[in-house]
Amino acid sequence: MTHEDLQDTMMKIVDKAEIDLKNLLEQYNEKARKGEIKSIDGELEDEHEIDDTDLIYGIAALQSTIESILEM
């Protein structure tokens, strides 16, 4: 496996993780809109949605870390 192959593979992992996390957030937000979110104790939580802004920064940090590893 070449360095470029490794880099492509790692970036595909980042892209897949981003898609999976966005889908998970959308599922959570859909349940929040319907009032179906429960706490660990089984109590209904107040309706609140999660903004994906933090997700964007998290994915960028993950990508930056992978790029740093690849530069070694």
Q: What is the secondary structure of 22-53 as a DSSP string?
A: HHHHHHHHHHHHTT--B-TTSPBPPP----TH
**Torsion over CA: 29, 33, 36, 37 (sign):** positive
5-38 pLDDT, tens digit each = 888 888 888 888 888 888 888 888 888 888 888 7
**pLDDT for 43 beyond 80:** no
Q: Rounded mean pLDDT of 56-66?
A: 81
pTM: 0.61
**pLDDT for 4 beyond 80:** yes
- Return the percentage of the chain with pLDDT > 90, whole number: 0
